[in-house]
Amino acid sequence: MAEFVYDIRDLKFIIKEWLNMEEIFNLEKFKDNYGMDDIDLILDEAYKIAREVIFPINKEGDRIGVKFENGRAKLPPGYVEAYKFLQENGWGSANESLASETAMPLTLYRAYNEMFIAASPALMSYVKLTTGAANLIYRFGTDKDRKLFLENMLSGKWSGTMCLTEPNAGSDVGDATTRAYPTDDPRIYKIKGTKMFITGGEVDLGENIIHMVLARPEGGAPGSKGLGLYIVPKIWVNDDGSLGEPNDVTCIAIESKMGLKASATAMLSFGENDNCRGILVGDPPDSEGRSKGLAMMFHMMNESRIGTGHNALAQMAAAYYFASRYAAERIQGRPFTNPKAERVPIIKHADVRRMLMEMKAQVEAIRAMVFRGFYYLDIAEYSKDREKAARYRGFADILTPLIKTYASETAWQMVALAIQVHGGVGYTEEYPVSQYARDVKILSIWEGTSFIQAMDLVGRKMRMKDGLPFASWLDERKEFIEQNKDADGFVAEMRKLEKAYQCVAEIKDIYASYYANIAEKGELIPLYALRVLTCCAQLFAAESLMDQALVARRKIEELGVNHHDYTYYAGKITTAKYFINNILPNVYMLADQIKEADKSALECPEEALVIG
Amino acid sequence: MAEFVYDIRDLKFIIKEWLNMEEIFNLEKFKDNYGMDDIDLILDEAYKIAREVIFPINKEGDRIGVKFENGRAKLPPGYVEAYKFLQENGWGSANESLASETAMPLTLYRAYNEMFIAASPALMSYVKLTTGAANLIYRFGTDKDRKLFLENMLSGKWSGTMCLTEPNAGSDVGDATTRAYPTDDPRIYKIKGTKMFITGGEVDLGENIIHMVLARPEGGAPGSKGLGLYIVPKIWVNDDGSLGEPNDVTCIAIESKMGLKASATAMLSFGENDNCRGILVGDPPDSEGRSKGLAMMFHMMNESRIGTGHNALAQMAAAYYFASRYAAERIQGRPFTNPKAERVPIIKHADVRRMLMEMKAQVEAIRAMVFRGFYYLDIAEYSKDREKAARYRGFADILTPLIKTYASETAWQMVALAIQVHGGVGYTEEYPVSQYARDVKILSIWEGTSFIQAMDLVGRKMRMKDGLPFASWLDERKEFIEQNKDADGFVAEMRKLEKAYQCVAEIKDIYASYYANIAEKGELIPLYALRVLTCCAQLFAAESLMDQALVARRKIEELGVNHHDYTYYAGKITTAKYFINNILPNVYMLADQIKEADKSALECPEEALVIG
């Protein structure tokens, strides 16, 4: 089996040399617990865990998958143990959750967590969901709820889930039909309905599963505004914290999926015997039947959507690293420019280099975007400078759909390249890359499809607060360009970046004009939304890499070309150049298409579009 | 289970209304056996077989896969029966093989065969390999060989394989180390070596398996020119046609693959006990140790590579059709321009339409390319007009790498869209689209990777015969543009097509200059080869759709807008417009990149490119 390797150097570059981590460590929330000196120790130890504890269970987990018998799901070998190891030793939810006093900055937590995801995406889905459920209880539950649930969730004794989707309400969660009926106790409701695609909905990870369930209270308003949020333990938790009766939550099925086979995706029935109790989170419905259930769930949305992008990044990165090592070791063919020479490792072939470079550029660009996102979230959440916090909240809001969608869509292309570099063996399950292809595909769908993200961008993020945050975000791009347009060695690249900036600025105006004339132009808004998102994402990605290249150049000037880190920094510079010359031009092409506004996709007769 | 549907209308359009099939049916080889009147009958019956015989075994075949025990492979339920049904009833090799007197034109055979592939890619791999092996024996074997093997192969009694790849010789087949030792009988050699990735290398399809094996005769020259070709039956065939002793061919393993799980991909050991006999095909090595084994195998290369592209097309088409039906039926969300309205089928959402349109455009464009390829092959093989035959052979040579690579690379994007249209259920194995994603990925690797195809284009096809065939191919593109540039309703699209043509013409000159100055520019040749290929492919694809749109417009003028076929033709017109406005501009972007010739992928330090 190929050994798990990861680019810990790039992670360290991001949080030690690129982002202003001092600023984050100086925040009240963190300053007593973490500092710059901890970074190497934490990352090095986590890398060891990823290699020795997590990656070894990944392939068998995929092969064996989750077994479902008599309503019980059994995880593949090693999953429960690895989960407990992470949670009990404080490598999981306890380091991430808002509920934890010693939680790390997201920027730091996510740096090591990325290696864990790369080592087993399925395993880490359980940690993520438990953290998410705990965060909801922490943020919106009562003191009693916190006391009853949080400690056991963060320590790995219990796991958690989020229950939104129903068979007839997926993207359109507002159409959910699960109901909540009041009881004599104003905080207790009887829950009845079916939820599907529940990650960890039925697992043997711990003694209990705490479901966070969206349901419509009796008399609730229609649509998403009528949905309430309920804590629904699989086994009732008594007031003294002991476990009570089973709570009438039944697992109907575990989905058979293309990938993530060690992640138990459950269909759950709540209240089949009218005996499922849920604890209301937040206020009961107001006089017009409105509840804040969805709003509460969406409160965590930035983090979980950026997290989904991060998940995609971790997987494509791992696939790239495996491919890079394979390319360095596999001997095949002779140099194009010297066909009489000895056979060479395939990395000597130009197209293999191109593929590796493409992966490296996308991986490092997306990693840069993702960590800027987490950085903004850390500041927004904990900075006392409320103006800055608000500004960064706005940036995080804007980046969220870009990261989620650009990462998950790009991952599909990158894992294909990783397979391609491997040739025939890449298609076999003996090598690890095909599993990443299968595991990663869900990420463009869950946490809101790419289209939902694109509409979030053009319909909300570009327009919120009269468009000021987006304008301010664009100004920051412009400022970077103005400051660096004469940067030595990068003048051509900076010119291309500027052109991409102008494209996005123009797109912003075009979309504003569509919204101003929605009767005539409205249909173009969703038609080109995903292309708008891609343009924004690639502009930001290119700038982020360019910014890193400037840091790398300074480092080279400082350390000289004989320093052991020279190749890393030199690679960073070529990576930025590659991205700007070979990937960024896509923005110009898409911008032209947005301007031309061809409507053939709308004009095609539906009968011609649907076959059979 | 979703029902299998296929766009039989588009297949009929291609061979009844678009290509000049009369010309093919008038060829000596076909004129007594087939005519225009047979098309509907054959396609309709084949569609029925695809739906009723083939598709029903596809999902179970994927789930159960090939079982390998005690050296024997067992296909999943229904595979042997379906194979025999096709072969015995003349729907398989007997209709395709050169060896068959009643073989159909490829253009006709492939039209119905496409539906079979779409219904079960794994099943059809066995038919394809058997045909390929039979073609080799027919073309290069002796009368005795033909008599001993062909009838049983074409009738489904025996199956066939092609054995090229070895553990250390994949893309670089010339490094094969399997040996052939002469015996007293000058036509019989002892074979010794290991071959891998042999489709159907060990199966229970029939009583015998006929392996066509590349091996280096003792004293053979190094590299590909030293390789000979041998018929190696799994069970020896006596001179009277009866089966003799087992021939010392051992299956060591069946690969566990990402997809195509019902296709047995074997690793075979020949001559473990020094008792494996092979029959020499063609001449023994000449005085310099040169044999024509690889040349013989490559003789079938155009057909098999275009066939690989066709395979990719069939799969992405099926995935699109499933997605289109799902989009028409699945109710979710409300119209963007009228959010208070009732929920609608998701096809009403602009981005879903865009995804369907993208799939339709790519599918129909690639199908058009593929069938022009088969059309050229039919004429090239059988026309008495030798000048025309040679010209079309040249066109087929040029199209082969374009089709193989553009189809297989595009398929990966298209199946992702098909999954995306399905949302979460697309990721489950309950729906058929994720299987296509897993099945289709191998096609960018086998029969020569995308890079090999790209180098075949720029290194051989653009340069063969002093570049005349490629120039003539380009002239044909130009001629189409000149003839139709004022076509009513398409003026803007024709202008874009012309721009793409100019890009390709310029690229041709750039590459000629690289070859003229290989010392300085040589490294750019492989670096941009795949992009050159994509430009050529998209130009040809766009023109093919445009040509179809012109036919469609004539049909509409003829039949009027109330004719039941109107929506089909109207769809054809919007499809051409969509492709040209939304896909073709990629050519301009890539052409700019080729011109700019950024070398960062070559300049990046190898240490920075390889992680771990």
Q: What is the ipTM of this complex?
A: 0.98
Q: From start to end of B138-242, where are the E strands? A: 158-163, 179-182, 188-199, 208-217, 228-233, 235-237
Residue B302 has pLDDT above 90, yes or no: no
Amino acid B612: pLDDT: 84
pLDDT at A264: 97
- Asked if the Cβ–Cβ distance from A451 to B571 is below 8 Å, we say no
Percent of chain A's residues with pLDDT above 90 = 95
Tens digits of per-residue pLDDT, A436-445?
A: 999 999 999 9
Separation CA B36–CA B22 (nearest Å): 7
Q: Convert the pLDDT of each residue in B424-442 to its tens digit.
A: 999 999 999 999 999 999 9
Beta strands in A384-471 (DSSP E): none
Predicted pLDDT of residue A339: 86
Which element (helix H / strand E) includes B93?
helix B93-96
Q: Which residues on adjacent β-strands are paired with residue A254?
A: A266
CA dihedral B145, B146, B148, B152 (to 10 degrees): 140
**Interval A453-465 mean pLDDT:** 98
Q: Render pLDDT for B171-221 as a digit per residue (tens, 0 to 9).
A: 888 889 999 999 999 999 999 999 999 999 999 999 999 999 999 999 999
Mean pLDDT (chain B) is: 97
Q: Which pLDDT band holds residue A2 (cuts at 50, 70, 90)?
A: confident
Strands A72-74 and A188-199: unpaired
Which residue, among B46, B65, B64, B42, has the nearest Cα to B55 in the 3D structure? B46
Nearest Cα of chain A lies from the Cα of B145 at a distance, in angstroms, of 32
Instruction: Indicate whether B548 pLDDT > 80.
Output: yes
Give the confidence band of B170 by pLDDT, cuts at 50, 70, 90: confident
**Measured between beta carbons, which residues in chain B are less than 8 angstroms from residue A350?**
523, 525-527, 529, 601-602
* Closest approach of B260 to chain A, Cα-based (Å): 10
Backbone angles phi, psi at B9, to 5 degrees: -60, -45
Q: Which fold has domain A159-291?
A: Butyryl-CoA Dehydrogenase, subunit A; domain 2 (2.40.110)
Of A324, A353, A429, the CB nearest to B258: A429
Span B457-469, mean pLDDT? 97
B-facing residues of A in 426-445 (CB < 8 A) are: 426-430, 434, 437-438, 441-442, 444-445
Contact between A227 and A290 under an 8 Å Cβ cutoff? The reply is no
Which residues 279-298 of chain A have a CB within 8 Å of chain B?
none
Contact B566, B552 (CB under 8 A): no
Question: Do the Cβ atoms of A437 and B434 come within 8 Å?
Answer: no
DSSP label of A42? H
What value, to the nearest 5°, has the Cα angle with vertex B472 and ends B468 and B478? Answer: 145
* Confidence (pLDDT) at A314: 98
Alpha helices in B383-490 (DSSP H): 386-422, 433-440, 450-455, 468-484
Q: Which residue, among B580, B83, B596, has the nearest Cα to B364 in the 3D structure?
A: B580
> CB B416 to CB A593 under 8 A?
no
Three-point CA angle A167, A172, A177, nearest 5°: 50
For residue A193, the SS3 value is strand
Partners of residue B609 in chain A, C-beta under 8 Å: 324, 347, 353, 356-357, 360, 571
CB-neighbour burial class of residue B17 (10 A; exposed 0-12, middle 13-18, buried 19+): middle
pLDDT for residue A223 is more than 90:
yes
Residue type, B594: I
**A592: pLDDT confidence band, cut at 50, 70 and 90?**
very high
Give the sign of the dihedral formed by CA B349, CA B354, CA B356, CA B357.
positive
Average pLDDT for B472-495:
98
Which residues of A have a catalytic role annotated? 447
Residue of B nearest to A522 (CA): B337
Q: Is the pLDDT of residue A1 over 70?
A: no
- Chain A residues inside the 8 Å CB shell of B575: 600, 604, 608
Q: What tens digit of pLDDT does each residue of A27-77 get? A: 999 999 999 999 999 999 999 999 999 999 999 999 999 999 999 999 999
Which residues, including other chains, have CB under 8 Å from residue A449's CB and lie 6 or more apart? A171, B420, B423
Does the pTM exceed 0.95?
yes
The predicted structure's pLDDT at residue B298: 86
Sort out which chain B residues have CB atoms less than 8 A from A529's CB and list them.
Answer: 350-351
* Ramachandran angles phi, psi of B257, nearest 5°: -115, 165
Q: Does domain B8-67+75-140 have CATH number 3.40.1130?
A: no
Q: What is the helix (H) or strand (E) element at residue A237, kind and residue range?
A: strand A235-237
Q: How far is B587 from chain A (nearest CA, A)?
A: 10
Please give the Cα distance from B391 to B413 (Å, whole number): 33
> CA-nearest residue of chain B to A4?
B612
Q: Band of the pLDDT at A272, cuts 50, 70, 90?
A: very high
Kindly state whether A515 is in contact with chain B, defined as any CB-CB distance less than 8 angstroms.
no
pLDDT for position A300:
81
Is B423 in contact with A449 (Cβ distance < 8 A)? yes
pLDDT at residue B1 in the model: 66
H-state helical runs in A98-206? 106-119, 121-140, 143-154
A468 and B CB contact within 8 Å:
no
Q: Residue A298: pLDDT band by 50, 70, 90 thresholds?
A: confident
Per CATH, is A8-140 categorized as 1.10.540?
Answer: yes
Same fold? A8-140, A300-446 = no
* Substitution target from A351, A429, A538 for chain B, most B beta carbons within 10 A: A351
Closest CA to A134 of A92, A90, A93, A80: A93
CB count in 10 Å sphere of residue A547: 16
- Tokens coding B484: 């139709």
Packed helices B121-140 and B433-440: angle between N→C axes, nearest 10 degrees:
30
**For range A194-221, the mean pLDDT:** 96
Question: What is the dihedral sign for C-alpha B35, B40, B43, B45?
Answer: negative
- pLDDT value at position A172? 87
Question: At B376, phi and psi to the nearest 5?
Answer: -60, -40
Which chain B residues have a beta carbon less than 8 Å from that of A445? 419-420, 423-424, 426-427
Residue A191 exposure: Cα atoms within 13 Å on the Cβ side: 33
Q: Which of A324, A434, A455 faces B610 most closely, judged by CB atoms?
A: A324
Residue appearing with tokens 């650009």: A406
Give the pLDDT score at B568: 98
The residue written with tokens 């590349």 in the block is: B214
Longest dimension (CA), chain B: 87
Return the CATH fold of B159-292.
Answer: Butyryl-CoA Dehydrogenase, subunit A; domain 2 (2.40.110)
State percent of chain A over pLDDT 70: 100
Chain B contact set for A530 (CB, 8 A): 351, 354
Domain boundaries, chain A: 8-140, 159-291, 300-446, 449-598
Catalytic annotation, residues of B = 447
Task: Find out whether A187 and A322 touch, Cβ atoms under 8 Å.
Answer: no
CATH of span A300-446: 1.20.140.10
Chain A nearest CA to B249, separation (Å): 22
Over range B297-311, report the average pLDDT. 91
Neighbours of A236 (CB within 10 A): 18
Q: Give me A123's structure tokens.
A: 């395993």
Of B80, B248, B247, the closest CA to residue B158 belongs to B80
Identify the pLDDT of residue A70.
Answer: 92
The verdict on a CB contact (< 8 Å) between A609 and B350 is no
- Specify whether the backbone of B290 is left (phi greater than 0), alpha (psi in -120 to 50) or beta: beta
3-state secondary structure (DSSP) of residue A561: coil
Residue B496 has pLDDT above 70, yes or no: yes
Whole-angstrom Cα distance, residue A490 to residue A56?
Answer: 43
Query: Under 8 Å CB-to-CB from B122, ≥6 apart: which residues?
Result: B58, B61, B62, B79, B260, B261, B262, B263, B439
Share of chain B above pLDDT 90, in %: 95
C-beta atoms surrounding B597 within 10 Å: 14
State mean pLDDT over A367-375: 98
Nearest CB partner across the interface for A607, out of B175, B567, B572: B567
**Do residues B602 and A353 lie in contact, with contact meaning Cβ atoms separated by under 8 Å?**
yes
CB A266 within 8 A of CB A202: yes
Question: Which of A172, A320, A608 shows the shortest C-beta gap to B333?
Answer: A172
